[in-house]
């Protein structure tokens, strides 16, 4: 097999160097535009339509056709097969140049194998392999698994975001994968939604900053053999679903779209993202997959997006079979393409129906050409024509290399949030010699999070393993509660409660279950939405019974969505929110518990008290709590956006503005002094918020406009500077005109969004 590939590869390279028979598209020195036009002019309609279509890989089909029923296909967004269409058909179609892309190909061997068919096709147009490399290329085994996006966001570390994306790109290319369906730049505003963990949280500014660096890390200029294509997704609004469930309708005003949901997408386009995925959901009555306003007017018209739009999983089909705005599948394809869709994820009917639509004169061939141009441009820029394969021998030198593992560890250390600490942390290994560890996430690979496959045990440090490594002098007693929060054994709970009495301290590692290989059994992740946000199963009982031992009990959470752990927040002395901290998450958690690492992360999303509080966001409008909930129910969150503790203390003072009055196009400099007043070195995330005091339309009570991650040695002070530029003050007025309005603005700076910890100053725009 390898020999065949090498022969094809060498043949390919020779012919491409010569650019034989005037074939400009095979000449790597020719401008990309010329190559695209030359190739397009040689393509049949069928080949063009094929470039716009994606298929799941052969191994994926084999695995699923054995276990899946046809009726499941409509509702499953992770697994598929094509009834009546075999792996042989896939190979043949690829060999005839009728498939432009594959997804869910999980091994280099299969990627090279499928590519070898494309290389036999008439025009030898390589396929582009797409994969959900959301936090590392974790869906495919033997790759570095970084912390999930929400954990990364809590680090507020844009440099780390870029580094992770860069390393992921290298590992992907080492597997012949060229396109990641990330970053997910949706602004998450509903904790019931199972996909919160794959977002960068609730704040448009933070999501934008992390999203932009992620795009840049993946793509660079899209012209090196280590670059991959980024995909900003899902456009748009699905992160505020009406009932919290994935893909349910969204009803959002244009103002909310433009102020909250669009900015990270627009910034992603400006950062160079060359692909975008539309959202499952309908938006204000129109499915996103047939939404001309979104795909054509806003994306291409206003933002000048030059890349291609890909549909989400079977969502063009859902225009017909779910949303029912097209009477049949062919009509759904028609509507989607005419609204601006470029590539279909995924399936067998596209080629025939779309070709017919063109032949019938309903879709102009020029419209097809537009899409194919965009797709080919990316393939040329990524160098796929010159490098259609990846080398198996080189692959494992790059994947999981020590440098990447180190990044995964450092990122986990930076993203774990210390929510509560009444002085018990960091743990004293001499005082607490016997420690009971229990809970569903104590010794499980679930720390890898959604979009990860099970890894080899030696590639993962579970939390229990981390504790044993970091505190070798401590005697850890472990009561296994199994992985499944929904099926916990009351006897095991009782056993933990009993053994807690013999311990000096207890650590309960609770949370959600997210691994997608147990698709229907998990409690968090894609398509795993919940109607409440408390701990599932016997986990509360476990915590309460263990704590009833009278021994100090601390809680570590592993989850994607915020959890309203009210009882623990009131009764336990310490809570650590680890999210899904990745392959070395167990080590990072243990290092934080034992004080080898001083925690620095801050919440990128509000933790509500309960599901009934939703929507609970920090940047709400002024009237949100004019009439709070009845007196016995809180109207405040459990933990606010931006909150996160450290083992040292910081003093904020001397907030100064360079101006007290500016013109509409003027800027204001902000400075403040932050001092590490404790006895440990630390990293502090300094946050800058703004409020427009009076405005012609209602404005949020505060909005994050900047932040800085600063390292401060014990006793050290630093002056932090920000600049408030006009774009940070502007908003859409009553007529939806974007601009800065005269009046007073309040500048707030501090360690979290909580009002009481913020320093405040004002300035006026004349």
- Sites of contact with ligand BGC (CB under 6 A): 77, 103, 132, 181, 233, 312-313
The four Cα atoms 323, 327, 333, 339 give a dihedral, to 10 degrees, of: -70
For residue 138, what are its two tokens?
A: 């974790």
Among residues 312, 342, 443, 706, the one annotated as catalytic is 312
From residue 499, give the alpha-carbon distance in Å to each of 135, 492, 672: 37, 10, 50
Q: 495 burial class (0-12, 13-18, 19+ CB within 10 angstroms)?
A: middle
- Nearer to ligand BGC (CB atom), residue 54 or residue 116: 54
Give just the sign of the alpha carbon dihedral 751, 753, 755, 759. positive
**312 tagged catalytic:** yes
- Identity of the residue, 102 or 483, whose beta carbon is nearer to ligand BGC in the bound complex: 102
3-state secondary structure string, 15-52? Answer: HHHHCCCCCHHHCCCCCHHHHHHHHHHHCCHHHHHHHC
Greatest C-alpha distance within the chain:
83
Q: Which of 441, 365, 388, 508 is nearest to 10 (CA)?
A: 388
Closest to ligand BGC by CB, 346 vs 374, is: 346
Closest CA to 363 of 326, 329, 335, 325: 335
Q: How far is the CB of 282 from ligand BGC (least distance, A)?
A: 15
Strand partners, 686: 708
CB 78 to ligand BGC: min, Å: 6
* Tokens linked to 78: 């992770």
CB of 181 to ligand BGC, least distance (A): 3
Whole-number minimum distance, CB 706 to ligand BGC, in Å?
30
Q: Considering the complex, what minimum distance in angstroms separates the CB of residue 588 from ligand BGC?
A: 27
Which residues fall within 8 angstroms of residue 334, CB to CB, at 6 or more apart? 326, 357, 362, 363
Output 81 or 313, the one with its CB closest to ligand BGC: 313
Strand partners, 684: 710
The CB-of-505 to ligand BGC minimum distance in angstroms stands at 41
For ligand BGC, the closer of residues 344 and 551 by Cβ is: 344
CB of 408 to ligand BGC, least distance (A): 22
If the CB atoms of residues 77 and 677 are measured against ligand BGC, the closer one turns out to be 77
Nearest to 497 by CA among 461, 550, 533, 456: 550
Dihedral sign for Cα atoms in the order 508, 514, 518, 521: positive
Pull the structure tokens for residue 17. Answer: 């160097």
CB-based burial, 445-483: b 16+ in 10 Å, e otherwise = bbbbbbbbbebeeebbbbbbbbbbebbeebebebbbbeb
- Shortest CB 314 distance to ligand BGC, Å: 8
Cβ distance to ligand BGC smaller for residue 181 or 380:
181
Nearer to ligand BGC, 200 or 313 (CB): 313
Q: How far apart are CA 231 and CA 313, in angstroms?
A: 14
**CA distances for 138 relative to 76, 143, 168, 276, 455, angstroms:** 20, 6, 9, 21, 9
User: Beta strand 275-278 with 308-310: parallel, antiparallel or unpaired?
Assistant: parallel
SS3 235: strand
Beta strand spans in 247-356 (E):
275-278, 282-283, 286-287, 308-310, 344-345
Shortest CB 312 distance to ligand BGC, Å: 5
Taking alpha carbons only, the member of 567, 522, 560 closest to residue 192 is 560
Decide whether 77 or 224 has the Cβ nearer to ligand BGC: 77
Those residues with Cβ within 8 angstroms of residue 616's Cβ, 6 or more apart along the chain or in another chain: 191, 606, 608, 637
Report the C-alpha gap between 435 and 464 in whole angstroms.
Answer: 11
- Which of 179/432 has CB closer to ligand BGC? 179
Shortest spacing between CB 108 and ligand BGC, in angstroms: 19
> Is 402 exposed, middle or buried (CB count within 10 Å of its CB: 0-12, 13-18, 19+)?
exposed
- CB nearer ligand BGC, residue 131 or residue 460: 131
Q: How far is the CB of 352 from ligand BGC (least distance, A)?
A: 23
What amino acid positions are annotated as catalytic residues?
312
């Amino acid at each position: 097999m390898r020999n065949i590939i090498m022969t094809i590869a060498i043949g390919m390279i020779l012919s491409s160097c010569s650019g034989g028979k005037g074939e400009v598209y095979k000449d790597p020195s020719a401008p990309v535009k010329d190559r695209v036009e030359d190739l397009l002019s040689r393509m049949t309609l069928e080949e063009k339509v094929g470039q716009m279509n994606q298929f799941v890989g052969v191994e994926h089909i084999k695995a699923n056709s054995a276990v899946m029923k046809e009726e499941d296909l409509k509702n499953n967004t992770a697994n598929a097969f094509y009834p009546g269409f075999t792996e042989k058909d896939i190979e043949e179609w690829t060999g005839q140049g009728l498939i432009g892309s594959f997804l869910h190909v999980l091994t280099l061997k299969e990627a090279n194998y499928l590519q070898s068919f494309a290389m036999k096709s008439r025009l030898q147009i390589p396929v582009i392999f797409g994969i959900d490399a959301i936090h590392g290329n974790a869906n495919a085994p033997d790759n570095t698994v970084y912390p999930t996006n929400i954990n990364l966001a809590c680090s507020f570390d844009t440099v780390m975001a870029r580094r992770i994306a860069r390393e992921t790109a290298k590992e992907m290319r080492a597997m012949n994968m060229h396109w990641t369906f990330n970053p997910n730049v949706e602004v998450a505003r509903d904790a019931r939604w199972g996909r919160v963990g794959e977002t960068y949280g609730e704040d448009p500014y933070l999501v934008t900053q992390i999203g932009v660096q992620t795009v840049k890390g993946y793509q660079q200029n899209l012209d090196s053999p280590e670059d991959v294509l980024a995909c900003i997704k899902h456009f748009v609004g699905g992160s505020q679903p009406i009932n919290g469930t994935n893909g349910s309708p969204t009803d959002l005003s244009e103002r909310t779209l433009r102020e909250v949901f669009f900015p990270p997408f627009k910034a992603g386009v400006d950062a160079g993202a060359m692909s975008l995925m539309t959202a499952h959901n309908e938006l204000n009555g129109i499915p996103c997959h047939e939404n001309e306003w979104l795909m054509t007017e806003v994306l291409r018209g206003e933002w000048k997006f030059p890349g291609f739009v890909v549909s989400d999983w079977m969502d063009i089909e859902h225009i017909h079979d779910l949303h029912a705005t097209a009477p049949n599948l062919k009509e759904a394809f028609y509507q989607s393409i005419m609204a601006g869709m470029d590539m279909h994820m995924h399936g067998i009917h596209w080629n025939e129906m779309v070709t017919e639509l063109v032949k019938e004169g309903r879709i102009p061939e020029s419209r097809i050409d537009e899409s194919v141009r965009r797709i080919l441009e990316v393939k040329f820029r990524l160098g796929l024509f010159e490098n259609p394969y990846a080398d198996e021998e080189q692959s494992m030198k790059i994947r999981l290399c020590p440098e990447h593992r180190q990044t995964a560890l450092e990122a986990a250390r930076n993203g774990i949030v210390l929510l509560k600490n009444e002085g018990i942390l960091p743990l004293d290994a001499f005082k607490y010699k016997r420690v009971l560890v229990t809970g569903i996430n104590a010794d499980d690979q679930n720390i890898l999070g959604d979009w990860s496959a099970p890894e080899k045990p030696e590639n993962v440090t579970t939390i229990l393993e981390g504790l044993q490594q970091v505190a070798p002098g401590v005697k850890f007693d472990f009561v296994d509660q199994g992985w499944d929060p929904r099926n916990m054994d009351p006897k095991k709970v009782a056993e933990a409660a009993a053994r807690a009495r013999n311990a000096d301290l207890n650590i309960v590692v609770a949370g959600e279950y997210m691994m997608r290989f147990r698709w229907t059994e998990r409690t968090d992740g894609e398509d795993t939405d919940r109607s409440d946000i408390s701990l599932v199963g016997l986990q509360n009982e476990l915590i309460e019974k263990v704590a009833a031992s009278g021994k100090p009990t601390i809680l570590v959470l592993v989850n994607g969505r915020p959890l309203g752990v009210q009882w623990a927040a009131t009764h336990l002395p310490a809570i650590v929110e680890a999210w899904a901290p990745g392959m070395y998450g167990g080590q990072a958690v243990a290092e934080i518990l034992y004080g080898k690492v001083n925690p620095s992360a801050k919440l990128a999303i509000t933790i509500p008290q309960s599901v009934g509080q939703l929507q609970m966001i920090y940047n709400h409008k002024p009237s949100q709590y004019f009439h709070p909930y009845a007196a016995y129910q809180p109207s405040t969150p459990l933990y606010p956006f931006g909150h996160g503790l450290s083992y040292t203390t910081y003093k904020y003072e001397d907030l100064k503005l360079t101006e007290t009055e500016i013109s509409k196009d003027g800027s204001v400099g902000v400075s403040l002094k932050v001092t590490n007043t404790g006895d440990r070195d630390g990293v502090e995330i300094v946050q800058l918020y703004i409020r427009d005091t009076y405005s012609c339309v209602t404005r949020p009570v505060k909005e994050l406009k900047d932040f800085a991650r600063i390292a401060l040695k014990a006793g050290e002070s630093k002056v932090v500077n920000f600049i408030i530029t006009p774009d940070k003050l502007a908003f859409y007025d009553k007529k939806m005109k974007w601009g800065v309005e005269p009046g007073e603005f309040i500048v707030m700076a501090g360690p979290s969004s909580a009002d009481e910890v913020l320093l405040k100053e004002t300035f006026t725009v004349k």
